[in-house]
Amino acid sequence: MSDFLRKDILNFISGLSLLFILSIFENIKHGFLAAQLSDFISKNDLFRNLLFLILIFFTLEVSGVTISNNKIENKVVLSIILYIFVLLFSKQTIYFSLFQLLIFFTMYGIYYYLTNDDEENVEHVDVKGNDTYYNTLYVLTGLLLFSTLVGFMFYYLKQREDKGENFTILKFLFKARDKTQK
């Protein structure tokens, strides 16, 4: 397995970790931001989505995630891909979300094992022995992406049926969900 693929999967997991932290911040921002700014963000869907995309970009920039050639265009593209993933992830039922969180925490455990620089436990540094872990990460990544798409489709069809004539794809994708919405 090439070093390029190994770095890509590790960067993907780092990006997911950052998204998880950002989504937690998104849910608790009301306690940390000025009241008027928090209200403005909550009521303005376009600004909220643009701000989240920018937060993803700057988080990638600050975190030191290395991307091929480390060009700004590549980071912008990765930010957009992660933003799309967040959109898909945020539009699904609780069962799919919980299943995906379980997959993510498993992936992060493997990621932590592979990137931990514990000097006392050097056996995980052996490259040949890590192929199984990297293959597991690729399978889990595929499962995560597939379940995200399936969960999104289930939720999309459910919302389209429930809303009937009032359903629009733009509101479905970019409007904040009501806290009472199921």
Global pTM reads 0.68
**Ranges of each domain in the chain:** 3-174
pLDDT of residue 114: 81
Q: Residue 124's pLDDT is what?
A: 47
Burial (CB count within 10 angstroms: exposed 0-12, middle 13-18, buried 19+), residue 122: exposed
Round to whole Å and give the CA distance between 42 and 37: 9
What would the pLDDT profile of 66-97 be if each residue is shown by its tens digit?
A: 666 667 787 788 888 888 888 888 888 889 98
Is-contact 29 41, C-beta < 8 A? yes
The string of pLDDT tens digits covering residues 9-23 is 666 676 666 666 666
DSSP 123: G
Euclidean distance between the first and the last CA atom of the chain, given in angstroms as a whole number: 43
* Residue of 29, 153, 45 lying closest to 91 (CA atoms): 153
